[in-house]
């Protein structure tokens, strides 16, 4: 009993009272003209892309897509997505780039520096979809089929990429005293002014990462159960993600554009998530009303691969041909069948020559007359015929 009490007293000491911020944020690669800084944020984005592509390629192959087409598509989708994500971030958080109220006091040179953080998911989705559409057209496949296959992988990529915010100590929520509160260095530029040092904050990066990981499992399970097609799984992804983004975004305290609608003033990303959720819900319902859902080909009309038509040889040879003339003995018929070089047998049909008559008693006049009448009616048979 005493041992159990001692163990119980050690548990609080072993469990951290907060989430520490990392001291490491990247590394430098020496070059002849200086150094190249590799940021942890960029590594998280890259890791998210890799795992997302892996899951997407597995699902895409299972849907019967042409081999290698996933790479032909993402080579367009990824650059477009990164550019779109950056542009959306700049528009939704313009103060650092254009100054408060666009007074010109910002620094425009910060716009291309994505290693400092700042990618808006909706800009990435919109321009990324445009790039994917270009790649799909070039590969002869449907965009709707590809985004259905990519939806779980997209969530997985977001779950991994969100950890870049942890390394940058950015995009956290308001103060909290919860045991999983996030530590932020007091000298960090993102630390809220006027807040006491040592204050803990909601780790919104962790909330979103866990939300997205749960979404991956949910989407895979629903797709296995209902076999969504025509873009319905993608719209389900949009509904799920925005549902979580609304409450997570509302917790954040970083600078963002505030929009007033319907008497409510809140962050631009909150309104965007609400509108995207409603649009995705409408699209999901409308697509579900169409017949034939779940049986669509991944190929664009007229771009299906040509079917290989095999040829089948029809054998008409017979293993044994019986002489219809009862006057010819079985032994003589076998003697008149030469070796077959093409899989068929030649049958020599005897004429009325007396030498072909079988040994035995001379047939009577009736039989002779019958034989002559048969010969007169049918004519002389050819010496050899081939049955094929």
The tens digit of pLDDT for each residue in 39-70 reads 898 899 999 999 999 999 999 999 888 888 88
The DSSP code for 384 is -
pLDDT category at 225 given cuts 50, 70, 90 is very high
- Say which residue, 332 or 136, is predicted with more confidence: 136
Q: Percent of the chain scored above 90 by pLDDT?
A: 45
pLDDT category at 2 given cuts 50, 70, 90 is low
- Say which residue, 100 or 388, is predicted with more confidence: 100
What does the pLDDT read at residue 107? 84
| 342 token code pair | 């093409």
- d(Cα 202, Cα 309) in Å, to the nearest integer? 63
Say which residue the tokens 């919860």 belong to.
178
What does the pLDDT read at residue 20? 94
pLDDT category at 355 given cuts 50, 70, 90 is very low
- d(Cα 240, Cα 18) in Å, to the nearest integer? 29
Residue 266 confidence (pLDDT) above 80: yes
Q: What does the pLDDT average to over 288-307?
A: 74
User: Distances in Å between the alpha carbon of 360 and those of 323, 327, 328, 363?
Assistant: 19, 11, 12, 9
Q: Percent of the chain scored above 70 by pLDDT?
A: 73
Q: What does the pLDDT average to over 177-204?
A: 93
What does the pLDDT read at residue 3? 57
Q: What does the pLDDT average to over 149-177?
A: 94
Residue 247 confidence (pLDDT) above 80: yes
What is the 3 state secondary structure string of 21-40? CCCCCEEEEEECCEEEEEEH
What does the pLDDT read at residue 134? 95
What does the pLDDT read at residue 199? 94
Residue 306 confidence (pLDDT) above 80: no
Helix (H, G, I), strand (E, B) or coil at 299: strand
Q: What does the pLDDT average to over 140-147?
A: 92
Residues contacting 326, CB < 8 A, separation 6+: none
- Say which residue, 25 or 141, is predicted with more confidence: 141
- Say which residue, 121 or 14, is predicted with more confidence: 121
Report CA torsion sign: 245, 248, 250, 255. Answer: negative
Q: What value, to the nearest 5°, has the Cα angle with vertex 139 and ends 137 and 140?
A: 65
Bridge partners, residue 35, by sequence: 30
| 104 token code pair | 């010109």
pLDDT category at 106 given cuts 50, 70, 90 is confident
| 284 token code pair | 């999901």
- Say which residue, 117 or 292, is predicted with more confidence: 117
DSSP 307-374: PP----------S----S-TTS-HHHHHHT-PPPSSS--EEPPP-S-GGGSPSSSPP-HHHHHHHHHH
Average pLDDT of the chain is 79
Most confident option among 28-32, 48-52, 112-116, 332-336:
48-52
148 closest CA partner among 237, 84, 247: 237
Residues contacting 381, CB < 8 A, separation 6+: 349, 351
How many of the other CB atoms lie within 10 Å of CB of 268? 18
CB 132 within 8 A of CB 184: no
Q: What does the pLDDT average to over 367-377?
A: 43
Residue 241 confidence (pLDDT) above 60: yes
Residue 328 confidence (pLDDT) above 50: no
């Amino acid at each position: 009993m005493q041992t159990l009490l001692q163990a119980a007293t050690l548990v609080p000491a072993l469990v951290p009272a907060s989430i520490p911020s990392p001291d490491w944020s990247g590394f430098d690669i020496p070059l002849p003209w200086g150094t190249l800084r590799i940021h942890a944020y960029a590594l998280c984005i890259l890791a998210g892309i890799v795992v997302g592509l892996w899951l997407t390629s597995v699902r895409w192959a299972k849907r019967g897509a042409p081999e290698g087409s996933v790479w032909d598509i993402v080579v367009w989708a990824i650059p477009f997505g990164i550019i779109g994500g950056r542009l959306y971030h700049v528009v939704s958080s313009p103060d650092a780039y254009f100054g408060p109220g666009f007074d010109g006091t910002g620094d425009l040179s910060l716009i291309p520096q994505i290693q400092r953080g700042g990618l808006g998911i909706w800009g990435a989705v919109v321009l990324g979809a445009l790039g994917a559409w270009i790649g799909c057209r070039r590969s002869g496949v449907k965009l709707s089929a590809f985004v259905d296959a990519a939806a779980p992988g997209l969530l997985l990529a977001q779950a991994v990429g969100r950890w870049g915010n942890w390394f940058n100590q950015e995009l956290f929520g308001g103060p909290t005293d919860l045991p999983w509160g996030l530590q932020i260095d007091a000298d960090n530029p993102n630390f809220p002014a006027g807040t006491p040092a040592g204050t803990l904050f909601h780790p919104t990066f962790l909330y979103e990462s866990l939300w997205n990981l749960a979404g991956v499992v949910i989407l895979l399970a629903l797709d296995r159960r209902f076999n969504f097609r025509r873009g319905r799984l993608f719209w389900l992804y949009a509904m799920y993600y925005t549902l979580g983004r609304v409450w997570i975004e509302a917790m954040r305290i970083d600078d963002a554009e505030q929009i007033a609608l319907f008497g409510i003033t809140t962050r631009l990303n909150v309104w965007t998530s609400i509108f995207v959720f409603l649009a995705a819900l409408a699209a999901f319902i409308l697509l579900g009303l169409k017949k034939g859902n779940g049986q669509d080909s991944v190929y664009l009309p007229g771009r299906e691969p040509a079917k290989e038509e095999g040829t089948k040889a029809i054998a008409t040879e017979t293993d044994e041909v019986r002489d219809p003339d009862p006057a010819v003995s079985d032994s003589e018929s076998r003697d008149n069948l030469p070796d077959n070089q093409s899989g068929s047998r030649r049958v020599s049909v005897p004429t009325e020559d007396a030498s072909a008559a079988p040994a035995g008693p001379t047939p009577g006049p009736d039989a002779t007359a019958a034989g002559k009448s048969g010969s007169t009616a049918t004519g002389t048979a050819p010496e050899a015929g081939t049955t094929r």
